Amino acid sequence: GESVGLHLPTLSVQEGDNSIINCAYSNSASDYFIWYKQESGKGPQFIIDIRSNMDKRQGQRVTVLLNKTVKHLSLQIAATQPGDSAVYFCAENISGGFKTIFGAGTRLFVKA
């Protein structure tokens, strides 16, 4: 079936360390995989996406890795800052465009 899940519901890291948030997916037909950040009381905010024909994509302080063999997606945040504290959602965009399946989210705590 279609599902997007997360290995850890919460992640606590020290300021300045790197963070890795993991996600598993089950639908092989997904075209895109997306990471969103949601701060308390706000709507989700797009971070980065990766197309299914890629295995790595880098942005500003973030890197997304896609392993289609094991259906695993990860978001790496370099030099984690207090402003990175939020809930992070992975999502997959099913072929056709309009159906985006969201995972339940991982809450990232950054300790000063």
Partner 1 sequence: NAGVTQTPKFRVLKTGQSMTLLCAQDMNHEYMYWYRQDPGMGLRLIHYSVGEGTTAKGEVPDGYNVSRLKKQNFLLGLESAAPSQTSVYFCASSLKRVNTEAFFGQGTRLTVV
CB of 92 to partner 1, least distance (A): 10
- Name the segment binding partner 1 (CB under 8 A); options: 14-22, 58-66, 73-81, 92-100: 92-100
Query: Contact between 1 and partner 1 (CB under 8 A)?
Result: no
DSSP state of 39: -
Query: Contact between 4 and partner 1 (CB under 8 A)?
Result: yes
Please, which residues bridge with residue 22 across strands?
A: 74
CA 95 to chain CA centroid, Å, is 19
Query: Contact between 106 and partner 1 (CB under 8 A)?
Result: no
- Name the segment binding partner 1 (CB under 8 A); options: 14-22, 55-63, 72-80, 95-103: 95-103
Measure the CA–CA gap between 84 and 38, rounded to whole angstroms. Answer: 10
Q: In the chain, helix, strand, coil percent, each to 5? A: 5, 55, 40
Measure the CA–CA gap between 86 and 106, rounded to whole angstroms. Answer: 8
Contact footprint for partner 1 (CB under 8 A): 4, 31-32, 34, 41-46, 49, 89, 91, 93, 97-105
